[in-house]
Structure 1
Amino acid sequence: MSLAPRAVLVHRRSELDELVHRHGTRGQVEFFLRTRGRTLAEVQDRHDAVTEALTRTRAAIPVDWRRGDVERGDLHRFTFDPGDLCLVVGPDGLVANTAKYLDGQPVIGVDPEPGRNPGVLVRHRAERIGRLLAAVQSGSATLEPRALVRATLDDGTGLDALNDVYVGHRSHQSARYRLVLPDGTVERQSSSGLVVATGTGATGWATSLARGRADAPALPGTAEDTLAWFVREAWPSPITGADHTAGLLASGARLEVAVESDALVVFGDGLEADRLTATWGQTVTLGVSDRRLRLVH
C-alpha cells in the first residue's frame, strides 16, 4: 500500500512573535514600539494576516494527506522526503531560505500579505491552495524550474542557494585569494568578497552590485541556467589586481577562489549561520547547481 502524499508547511515567526520573545510581554512590546513611532495595532494586523493565511493553507490540505510543519529556524534539521509537496507561507525570501534544502519537490509560494511582498516567488493566495494541490497531484500544474548556485570546497562539502552565494571575510574586511576564471585566467585579488547570483537573485543583491559598474554583464533572466558574478571593491596593489571583477558563468562553467587568507566564509541567501569555512590553501568552486527549484506557477 502506497503512502498518502505529504504536504510540508514552511513558515516563519511573525514580527509580533519575535518582539514578544525578545521583550517578554505585549505591554513591553507596545512600549518599545511607541518609543519608535510605531503602534502595536500595526504589528498585530500583520500577525493576524499571517495567522489567517496559515490557517487557510492548513485547512486546504486534504484530510487523507500526511502533513509536516517546519519553522524557518528549524529547516536545517528537517528532512524533506522525495515525494513531498512544499507549501511556503511568507515573504519571497522564505522560498529562497527553503530551496537549498529541497531536491526537486514542488513548491507553492503563498503570500500572506498581498501588496507588501513583490510576489516573485510567493505568487498565490491561501484561498487557491486547494485547487493548486489537486493540480500538482494530478500532474496538470505548471512547474517553473529555477537554477541554483552551488559552492563546493575541495574537501567535498558544499551548499546551494537560490539567490546568491557570498565568499569573503566573515566581517567583510579584505579577503585575499586567487581568482581562476573558466578560461584559466588567474588574478590574485584583495577585496571585500565575491557574490555569485542566479537569475532569481538578479532582482536582489546582484542588481545593486551591477548598478553603475561599467564592467557589469547583462544579468541573467529567471529561467536561465546562467550565473552573474561580481567582485566587491577589488583593491589594486603591487601584488593584487582588479582587472577581472564581473562576468557570467554558463551552465557547466566554474569559477574558482583559492584562499590566501586565514579563513573565508561561504554562505547563501544571507543565511550566515549556515555557512562553510574555507581556510588558507583551500579552493572554493562556484557554478550552476545540478538541482533546481520547481516552483508551481
Structure 2
Amino acid sequence: MALPTRVVLVYRRSEYEELLDRHATFGQAEFFLRSRGRNIDDVLARHEAIENAMHLVSTSLPDDVRQARVERSDLDRYLFAPEDVVVAVGQDGLVANVAKYLAGQPVIGVDPEPGRNAGILVPHSPDHAAAVVASVRRGTAAFEERAMVQATLDDGQTLLALNDLYLGDPGHQSSRYTLAVPQQDPERQSSSGIIVGTGTGATGWSSSIANDRGLVDLLPPAESTQLAWFVREAWPSPATGRRLGFGLLDAGQTLDLTAESELLVAFGDGIERDRLSIAWGQRLTVSRSEHRLTLVTGAT
C-alpha cells in the first residue's frame, strides 16, 4: 500500500531570526540596525510575510496530507521520500538550494513577497499553493523539467547544481589548473575560477559575466539542456594562457579541469560549505546531469 502524500515545506530562516540569534533581544537588534542606518520595521515585515505564507500554505492543506518542514541549512541531512511534494516558500534561490537533494519529486515554488522576488522559480502565491498540491496529486499539474549540472571527481565524488557551479580557489584567489573543453586544445590557466551554468542559471551569475562580455545572446534559454562555461579573469603569462574563455556544452560533452594548485573547490548555487575539494593533480569533470528539477508551473 502506497504511503499518502507528504508535503515538505522548505524555507530559509529570516534575517530577523538571525538578528535575534546574534543580539538576543528585539531592542538590541533594533539598535544594531539603527546604528547602521537601517530600520527594523522592514526586516520584521519580511519575516512576517514568510511566516504568514508558511502558515497559510500549511493550514490550507487537507487533513489527509502529511506535512513536514525543513530549513535550508538542514537540507543536506534531510531524507526526502519518493511520495513527497516539495513546497519551497521563499526566493528563487531556495528552489535551487533544494533541487540537488531530490530525485524527481515535484517542486512547487511559492513567493511570499510578490514584487520583491524575481519569481521565476517561485511563481505561485501562498493562497494558491493548496490548489497546486491538489493538482499534483490528481496528476493534472503542468510541469517543466530543468537541466542540472554535475561535477564528478576522479575518485567518484559528485556534486549537483541547478543554477551554476564554481570551480576554483576556496578564497576566490588565483586558481591554477589545466582546462580541457570539446574541440579545443587543452590550456594551462591561472584565473579567478570557472563558472559553469545551466539555462536556469542564465539569469544569475552567468548573466552577469555574459553581460560584461557581450555574450548575453549566446546564453542557453531556461528550458535548454546546454551548459555555458566562463573562465573568470584568466592571467596570461609565459606558462599560462587565456585562449579558452567561454563556450557551450551539449549533451555528452564535458569540461575537464586538472588541478595545479594545492587545493581547489567546486560548489553549487552559492552553498560553499557543501563542496568538493580538488587536490593537486586530481581531475574534475563537469557535464549535464541525468537528474533534473521537476518544477510545477501550473494547476488545472
TM bucket normalised to smaller: over 0.9
TM-score, normalised via structure 1 length: 0.97
- Per-residue deviation, 1:36: 1.7
Distance 1:248 1:260, change over 3 A: same
Match of residue 206 from structure 1: 206
- Per-residue deviation, 1:37: 1.8
- Structure 1 distance, partners of 2:25, 2:238, is 58
Conserved? CA contact 2:3–2:83, under 8 Å: no
Letter in 2 for 1:164: D
Letter in 2 for 1:205: W
Secondary structure of the equivalent of 1:59? helix
Does residue 246 of the first structure (1) align with residue 246 of the second (2)? Answer: yes
Match of residue 70 from structure 2: 70
- Structure 1 distance, partners of 2:217, 2:190, is 21
Conserved? CA contact 1:215–1:246, under 8 Å: no
Distance 1:215 1:122, change over 3 A: closer
Secondary structure of the equivalent of 2:212? coil
Q: Which moved more, 1:147-156 or 1:38-47?
A: 38-47
Q: Deviations over 1:84-129 (max 9, x none)?
A: 1000001111111111111111000000011110001010001001
- Per-residue deviation, 1:211: 1.9
Secondary structure of the equivalent of 1:212? helix
Please show how residues 1-297 of structure 1 align to structure 2 within 5 Å. 1-183=1-183, 185-213=185-213, 218-297=218-297
Secondary structure of the equivalent of 1:211? helix
Secondary structure of the equivalent of 2:238? coil
Letter in 1 for 2:135: A
- Per-residue deviation, 1:220: 0.3
Distance 1:134 1:215, change over 3 A: closer
- Per-residue deviation, 1:215: 6.7
- Per-residue deviation, 1:217: 6.9
- Structure 2 distance, partners of 1:54, 1:185, is 52
- Structure 2 distance, partners of 1:177, 1:189, is 6
Conserved? CA contact 2:263–2:279, under 8 Å: yes
Q: Deviations over 1:113-172 (max 9, x none)?
A: 111100010100010012111110111101101111101100000110011000000111
What percentage of residue pairs aligned between the two structures are identical?
54
Secondary structure of the equivalent of 1:50? helix
- Structure 2 distance, partners of 1:157, 1:61, is 39
- Structure 1 distance, partners of 2:217, 2:170, is 27
Letter in 1 for 2:60: A
Distance 1:112 1:215, change over 3 A: closer
Letter in 1 for 2:277: T
- Per-residue deviation, 1:40: 2.0
- Structure 2 distance, partners of 1:157, 1:110, is 32
Letter in 1 for 2:42: E
Distance 1:254 1:230, change over 3 A: same
- Per-residue deviation, 1:216: 7.1
Consecutive unaligned residues in structure 1, runs of 5 or more: none
- Structure 1 distance, partners of 2:276, 2:217, is 28
Moved over 6 A (4+): none
Q: Deviations over 1:266-285 (max 9, x none)?
A: 00001001111010111010
TM-score, normalised via structure 2 length: 0.96
Consecutive unaligned residues in structure 2, runs of 5 or more: none
Letter in 1 for 2:193: G
Q: Which moved more, 1:68-77 or 1:209-218?
A: 209-218
Conserved? CA contact 1:217–1:246, under 8 Å: no
Distance 1:133 1:216, change over 3 A: closer
Q: Deviations over 1:217-242 (max 9, x none)?
A: 70000000001000000011111111
Q: Deviations over 1:252-278 (max 9, x none)?
A: 110100111111010000100111101
